[in-house]
């Protein structure tokens, strides 16, 4: 190589960045020991910003366009270098290209649940996840506060910081929404937009904004989901009395399929008695003619008819309410015995089932214990 070739190799004529990645935010032009000659071309493409750094100080910033580097185009750098009277000479400076495009499909999620106070369920633990998009709005602040002298600053280096900011603001955003957990799905878009604005305001000091913030899902713990499913099932069933009849009919069908089982015989016997009594009562009610006058009130000594709701005390837990069919099923399964505590509306306290005369017929359907 001749002398002129070596001289040309020591000077940089064109400064540009062709980004072939999808995650680079800041890229430093590889100057090495070369000098940028006065009159060189600087090409800044759309969605880019070029920042000149001289001896650790940000000197000049260039928006998209093509520039011929001259002293009049480098006012701050010219002042730092001490160029006077348009002195044309090569110079050394670090050139950083900052991508200002929209970085999409950045994920976020709560590693630990966020606790909020729900107006219907009280204290609830929530988990959430989603995506967001970030954009550099101030290249100088980005380099000064985050990128520093990193020659290739990528999104993965700032994602943890942004995720912590998001999770830190998520709890207050959900609490300030004043929306029940059951209605959060309909408010996810508005909550996400409000949270994106708060994050952009907090991140303005480092030159980043969050123009798009998406909440994909907000979930509750599995035990809360199970309770919600039960509540939904009760609403779908509607008439619990008819549901009990349906369950009793299913139990009879299962017992008929397994006639050899002692437990199934007891269940079938109890359910059969309960269903027979209920059908007889319904048949008698249908055949009875309407009385011309209301029936006289029963005497004070006559015990009240068997109510539809009984409660059992099983191993320190309150079970129920049970109607007649339910009591027969409990007796057949061995849960209801003579010593089991029972209670119904109108009773002063819990008593053993064998002390209640109205339950004698139910206890009579209990099969005896199997022989040894």
What are the residue ranges spanned by the domains of the chain?
3-99, 103-224, 239-282+306-364
Q: Which stretches of the chain are DSSP H helices?
A: 3-9, 75-81, 139-142, 156-176, 184-203, 222-237, 240-257, 262-287, 324-332, 360-364
Place of tokens 């009579």: 364
Q: What are phi and psi of 291, to 5 degrees?
A: -75, 140
Reported confidence tier of residue 85, pLDDT bands at 50, 70, 90? low
**pLDDT at site 279:** 57
pLDDT(365) > 60: yes
pLDDT for 133 equals: 94
Structure confidence by residue, pLDDT tens digits, 128-181: 999 999 999 999 999 999 998 899 999 999 999 999 899 888 888 887 777 788
pLDDT for residue 99? 95
- Overall average pLDDT of the 82-88 stretch: 67
Which pLDDT belongs to residue 368?
Answer: 62
pLDDT at position 6: 43
How long is the chain?
Answer: 372
> pLDDT tens digits for 213-238?
999 988 888 877 777 777 676 666 55
Among the listed residues 102, 110, 99, the one whose alpha carbon sits nearest the alpha carbon of residue 132 = 102
Cα distances from 360 to residues 20, 143, 336, 347, 350, in angstroms, run 86, 86, 12, 17, 16
- pLDDT, one tens digit per residue, over 203-215 is 999 999 999 999 9
Under the banding of pLDDT at 50, 70 and 90, the label for residue 261 is low
Does residue 187 surpass a pLDDT of 50? yes
pTM, two decimals, is 0.57
Q: Per residue in 306-360, pLDDT tens?
A: 555 888 888 888 888 888 888 888 888 888 888 899 888 888 888 888 888 888 8
Instruction: State whether residue 25 is helix, strand or coil.
Output: strand
pLDDT value at position 97? 96
> 148 or 11: which carries more pLDDT confidence?
148
Measured distance CA(134)–CA(345) in Å, rounded: 63
111 pLDDT above the threshold of 90: no
Q: What architecture does CATH give domain 103-224? A: 2-Layer Sandwich (3.30)
Q: Are strands 11-15 and 35-44 parallel, antiparallel or unpaired?
A: parallel
CB 325 within 8 A of CB 275: yes
Report the SS3 class of residue 7.
Answer: helix
State pLDDT tens for residues 30-49: 876 668 888 889 999 999 99
β-pair partners for 129: 109, 217
pLDDT single digits (tens) 263-310: 445 545 555 555 556 655 655 555 554 555 555 555 444 445 555 588
What was the pLDDT predicted at 124? Answer: 84
Higher pLDDT, 178 or 100: 100
């Amino acid at each position: 190589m001749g002398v002129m070739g070596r001289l040309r190799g020591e000077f940089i004529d064109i400064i540009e960045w062709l980004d072939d990645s999808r995650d680079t935010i800041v890229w430093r032009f590889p100057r090495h020991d070369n000098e940028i000659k006065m009159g060189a071309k600087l090409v800044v493409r759309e969605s880019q910003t070029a920042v000149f750094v001289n001896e650790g100080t940000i000197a000049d910033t260039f928006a998209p366009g093509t520039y011929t580097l001259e002293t009049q185009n480098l006012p701050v750098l010219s002042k730092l270098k001490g160029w006077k009277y348009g002195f044309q000479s090569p110079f050394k400076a670090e050139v950083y290209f900052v991508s200002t495009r929209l970085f999409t499909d950045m994920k976020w999620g709560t590693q630990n649940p966020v606790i909020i106070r729900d107006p219907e369920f009280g204290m609830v633990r929530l988990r959430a996840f989603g995506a967001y998009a970030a954009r550099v709005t101030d290249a100088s602040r980005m380099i000064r506060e985050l990128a520093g002298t990193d020659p290739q600053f990528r999104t993965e280096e700032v994602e943890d910081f942004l995720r912590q900011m998001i999770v830190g603001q998520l709890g207050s955003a959900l609490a300030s929404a004043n929306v029940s957990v059951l209605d959060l799905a309909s408010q996810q878009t508005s909550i996400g937009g409000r949270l994106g604005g708060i994050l952009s305001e907090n991140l303005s000091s480092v030159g980043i904004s969050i123009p798009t913030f998406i909440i994909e899902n907000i979930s509750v713990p599995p035990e809360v989901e199970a309770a919600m499913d039960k509540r939904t099932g009760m609403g779908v069933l509607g008439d619990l009395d008819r549901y009990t009849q349906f369950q009793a009919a299913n139990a009879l069908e299962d017992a008929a399929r397994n006639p050899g089982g002692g437990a199934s015989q007891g269940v079938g016997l109890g359910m059969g008695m309960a269903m027979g009594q209920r059908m007889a009562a319904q048949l008698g009610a249908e055949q009875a003619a309407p009385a011309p006058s209301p029936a006289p009130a029963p005497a004070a000594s006559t015990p009240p008819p068997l109510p539809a709701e009984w409660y059992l005390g099983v191993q320190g837990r309150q079970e129920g309410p049970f109607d007649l069919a339910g009591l027969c099923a409990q007796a057949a399964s061995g849960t209801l015995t003579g010593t089991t505590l029972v209670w119904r509306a109108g009773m002063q306290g819990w008593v053993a089932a064998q002390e209640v005369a109205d339950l004698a017929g139910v206890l009579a359907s209990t099969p005896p214990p199997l022989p040894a």
